[in-house]
Structure 1
Amino acid sequence: MAEDFVKIDHVFYKYDDEASYAVNDVTFSVGKGEWLALVGHNGSGKSTLARLLNGLLFPEKGLIKIGHYVLSEKTIWDIRRQVGMVFQNPDNQFVGATVQDDVAFGLENHGIPHDDMVKRVKEALHEVGMEEYKLHEPARLSGGQKQRVAIAGVLALRPDVIILDEATSMLDPRGRSEVMETIRRLREKEDITVISITHDLDEVLYADRVIVMNEGERFKEGTPKEIFKDTEEMKRIGLGVPFIVSLEDELKSHGISIDEPVLSEGELLNLLWESNSSK
């Protein structure tokens, strides 16, 4: 088990105009290099948790710890140096006239020396496959390309944790695939801790562990296979299931035996092949 790097301990948060808590006594931890997915319907508390983890909000009660730092007014900038966030709409994150200017913006704000900044910008764009677009205007890029540039801007700051706050929700299937594969590769290479807040249940399949939020509380926790084993329970709280799990349910209704969720197309094809070969 990886050492806990992110810790949420009995955290409560309520917006001023709301009667109930958006986050109600939530506790969990995330290991160094782990990929955790937080899922839930709108209003379940998952995006509020993202903002609490980056210090954009402070808990009413409870403790939030990133690395060696407990979140407080004194440690907020230490926390933010360790946590990078990629938001839903990449257009809202662009400030530079060119791709390389945009990636450099955060480094300038952190006072990184020029020579080091140039090196980091080049490395970050290379990591996300956008180096050849460095002089392009961000507005002329595709949705997936824009989001990869946003990820490069975060990577250049060399965070220990990347939070994806509905980061693929405005992208088409190709763009979503590009972004998720980029994050998967970077996480494996750099041992970055990833926390993805999403309602796209196909995106959840990339995660090591899933926490299902419901009405501000932690409703269920487990691996993707454990979470999607009971599809009716997920539907009962307003969530669906990944397409591949829906397909397996349909196959079961036609008499094809599948004991537990198979979460990749390759695995499902092998299972069907073996099933057919045994007849």
Structure 2
Amino acid sequence: MTEIKLYNTKSRKKEAFEPIRAEDVRMYVCGPTVYDRAHIGNARPVIVFDMLYRLLRHVYGAEHVTYVRNFTDVDDKINAKAADTGRTIGEITEETIGWYLEDMAAVGALEPNAMPRATGYIAEMIAMIEALIEKGHAYAAEGHALFRVRSYENYGALSGRDVDDMIAGARVEVAPYKEDPMDFVLWKPSSEDQPGWESPWGRGRPGWHIECSAMAKALLGDTFDIHGGGLDLQFPHHEDEIAQSCCANDTSEMAKVWMHNEMLQVEGKKMSKSLGNFFTVRDLLDQGYPGEVIRFVMLSTHYRSPMD
């Protein structure tokens, strides 16, 4: 059988890929928050992990590979857009998901086997939070549920960070209901005009990180082969995913291999909607650039190298 070697962010080296079960190769990749058109930076992980998905299917057989990529359809950016436009959250997310699938198909990406939406897994998120609280890894405070970071001794291993150094760097949200500045939100209260679900901690909505842990567990199991996403997700998103998943599921790892693509940059700065320095996949397609040309240009730079 063809040997596949992958660079594992967790070990910081290339490793021969050996799936947990060769007849059931499983990969999870973090997908978009659906409130606007995908910019070309959003297309980079789609194209990179589409290549890997095709390679895995070629080596192990299409019927033996499961690829999951989620949609985050509950988020403050979506709420803000709904408030600004007067449209419903459902209208915005449905339209944006349609655009996204159309644009990614245009650059030659196969659809994953499953594309779960966060709002479809609220019950699983609540169950995971309850398990974390029961085991002492999380606590409830003022309508919130928070993960107790210091209860997980390997926190920071993926990104190579030390908890105390992170606090000294002060890139953490300090809130009166937190036991420790590093603790992160699993559940937060919702006002009447925000989407919310009933929970043991009151009406509210999930924090960002718990979504992927709950969806990955439901669709791929407690431990799976590959977890991917953009380098900007390595910390805190993936670090937090590992902590809550391992603690909730009593496992030593969430995924065997962690892979991250570098960012697309514009004049040395990360391309992002918040900076306004982006153009969309649809912009390029409408200007007459074929999808395969966009794909070729993306794949002409190594996926772990910045691309300007």
TM-score of the superposed pair, with normalisation by structure 2: 0.30
